[in-house]
A = this chain, B = another copy of it.
Amino acid sequence: MSESEQPTGSIRLLIADDEHLIRGALEALLGLEPDIEVVAGTDNGATAAQLALELRPDVCLLDLEMPRADGIEAAERIMAGVPGARVIIVTRHARPGVLRRALAAKVAGFVPKSTPAGDLADVIRDVAAGKRYIDPEIAAAALVAERCPLTDRELDVLRATRTSSSVQAIADALFLSTGTVRNYLSAAMTKLGASNRHDAAEHAWQQGWI
């Protein structure tokens, strides 16, 4: 593992983003930095985790929204397989609950796509140096965010609400009776102050609870 063709202290980076254009652009952006070397790129979380196990990059830059395994799932797999790995999550929708999930997964960096491009290299350097970087806006939002008042089953039905159209379909998906589903939905709607299940599911999604 002691190649000599790279400058001393060069940061070996893995990039995962399902939008090829973005990934390529990020590679171009970070390739301009003399101390950063992009060693791998992929468009899904599962491959990202696999590549990380093989290549042992110093830092992994993972998009949150990816097929096969989202950024946090990929981060968990990488953490499990590569002790001391450093992961940065990049996301478009910076929902407070997602930050919680990311921090629970021991992610070292969390930046929204609204971050100025010039800052990204610095974040990568900080993270590579062992520091953590959490976008201050998201951190503040997460701190004032309400704790999730919903039970596990209530979260389940809200999750199912996002893909199923009728109560019957939700009940079928969860192997529950329609009455039970309606009770859970009613409870969730009351807790969230929503006037229908779609609003409730949307709210829970915005908070990153589901």
Q: Find out whether the CB atom of B114 lies under 8 angstroms from the CB atom of A20.
A: yes
Chain A residues numbered 23-45 whose CB sits less than 8 Å from any CB in chain B = 23-29, 32
A173-210 interface bits toward B, Cβ cutoff 8 Å, 1 = contact, 0 = none: 00000000000000000000001101100000000000
The reply on A80 being an interface residue by CB < 8 A is no
A94-121 interface bits toward B, Cβ cutoff 8 Å, 1 = contact, 0 = none: 0000000000000000011111111010
The reply on A144 being an interface residue by CB < 8 A is no
Complex Cα gap A173–B99 (Å): 35
- Name the interface size band of chain A: 20 to 34
Q: Find out whether the CB atom of B117 lies under 8 angstroms from the CB atom of A27.
A: yes
Given pairs A22-B25, A24-B29, 10 additional interface contacts (CB within 8 A): A21-B117, A22-B113, A22-B117, A23-B117, A24-B116, A24-B118, A25-B117, A27-B117, A166-B196, A198-B198
The reply on A165 being an interface residue by CB < 8 A is yes
Complex Cα gap A120–B22 (Å): 11
Complex partner residue of A116 from B20, B29, B112, B199, CB under 8 angstroms? B20
